[in-house]
Structure 1
Amino acid sequence: MRMTASGVAVVTTDGEAGRAGVTVSSLCSLSMEPPSVVFSVHRDNRHLEKLLANGVFVANILSDTQERVANSFAGLIPELRGNRFLAGDWSELLTGAPALDGALCNFDCRVASVFDFGSHRIVAGEVLNVRNQAALPLIFSDRTFRRLAA
């Protein structure tokens, strides 16, 4: 699977349980009716509990200029581990979850369903709002970030 190419997303949340986020490469469209997305996270990920408790998230699809954001939310930048959100600029959409400014796309969602499978939890979110801009996507393949040629 490491040889496949995928887009890179940072899933963020905020609410009574607190602010949190995690980098995922498993985000994909689930359904057009209702509009929805799905992603998976290891069940031991400490940010998953906050996301599920808050019940809302934004799936931020990263542009090719946002590798630092991806690394921050993957926990790979030691000086940002205390506050991963310092790696980008943020605003809010409908749910109040953090939406990354400059992202290729922001899917503002409410948690619709959660499924357990193996070591992961699969989270389905109903898309309530979308914001997008013209940009090129950040790609992940063979354990490294890649960019598309213009």
Structure 2
Amino acid sequence: MKRPTIDSKDYRDAMARYAGHVQIATTVHEGVRRGVTVTAACSVSDNPGTLLVCLNHSNPLNELFIQSGIFALNSLMAVHQPLAVAFSGLDHLDVDARFALAKWDTITTGAPTLVGAMAVFDCRLIEARPVATHTIMIGEVIGIRIGEPGPALLYMDRGYHTV
């Protein structure tokens, strides 16, 4: 039986219409830091606090998230757009230059957490599952910081917006 398929370009074009809160997923393992701009993240449960983040597994550096067993999800505000660009790799900055653009600390796990983020979810990785081009990471939230309210940074129609 032949399964129906869709064109991947059409899928990407349709998903571009889907607004996503811009976040930076971060981790550290054996002194090596990693941070990636993401929009594919959401809540799974509030009891216990659990969320998921999707990372492209074609980048071998993202394996650090699995090796570390920890990660933080840092929700960005409008003022953090330069960070979103830097951690997306568009500026071609090395990891130290990316992290030097802002102030970072830690909450519980030791993963880098953005000072001034709208919200930070510090997680223990409880499952990682490859699906197509991405790895779905599920994390139990074991630390949290709620920042000051302000305009959120969104990504839609292949550009940044605020709300």
Q: SS where residue 14 of structure 1 aligns?
A: strand
Specify the alignment match of 2:94 in structure 1.
81
Structure 1 residue 119: deviation in Å?
1.2
Structure 2 unmatched runs, 5+: 1-14
Specify the alignment match of 1:139 in structure 2.
154
Structure 1 residue 139: deviation in Å?
0.6
Distance change >3 Å, CA 22–CA 53, structure 1 → 2: same
Higher Cα Rg: structure 1 or 2? Answer: 2
Taking the aligned partners of 2:60 and 2:91, their CA distance within structure 1 comes to 17
Letter in 2 for 1:138: L
Specify the alignment match of 2:131 in structure 1.
117
Specify the alignment match of 1:48 in structure 2.
62
Specify the alignment match of 1:128 in structure 2.
142
TM-score between both structures, scaled by the size of structure 1: 0.93
Taking the aligned partners of 2:95 and 2:142, their CA distance within structure 1 comes to 30
Distance change >3 Å, CA 122–CA 17, structure 1 → 2: farther
CA contact (8 A) 2:33 2:95 kept: no
Root mean square deviation of aligned Cα: 1.2
Letter in 2 for 1:2: A
Taking the aligned partners of 1:41 and 1:24, their CA distance within structure 2 comes to 8
Specify the alignment match of 2:74 in structure 1.
60
Taking the aligned partners of 2:26 and 2:116, their CA distance within structure 1 comes to 15
Structure 1 residue 14: deviation in Å?
1.1
More helix as a share of residues: 2
Structure 1 residue 31: deviation in Å?
1.0
CA contact (8 A) 1:21 1:47 kept: no
CA contact (8 A) 1:112 1:126 kept: yes
Taking the aligned partners of 1:47 and 1:131, their CA distance within structure 2 comes to 27
User: For residues 71-94 of structure 1, what are the alpha-carbon distances to aligned partners after superposition, in whole Å with 9 as ceiling and x for unaligned?
Assistant: 11101113x234221221101111
Moved over 4 A (4+): none
Distance change >3 Å, CA 11–CA 82, structure 1 → 2: closer
Q: SS where residue 47 of structure 1 aligns?
A: helix
Distance change >3 Å, CA 17–CA 123, structure 1 → 2: farther
Letter in 2 for 1:48: N
Give the number of aligned pairs.
147
Q: SS where residue 72 of structure 1 aligns?
A: helix
Structure 1 residue 17: deviation in Å?
6.4
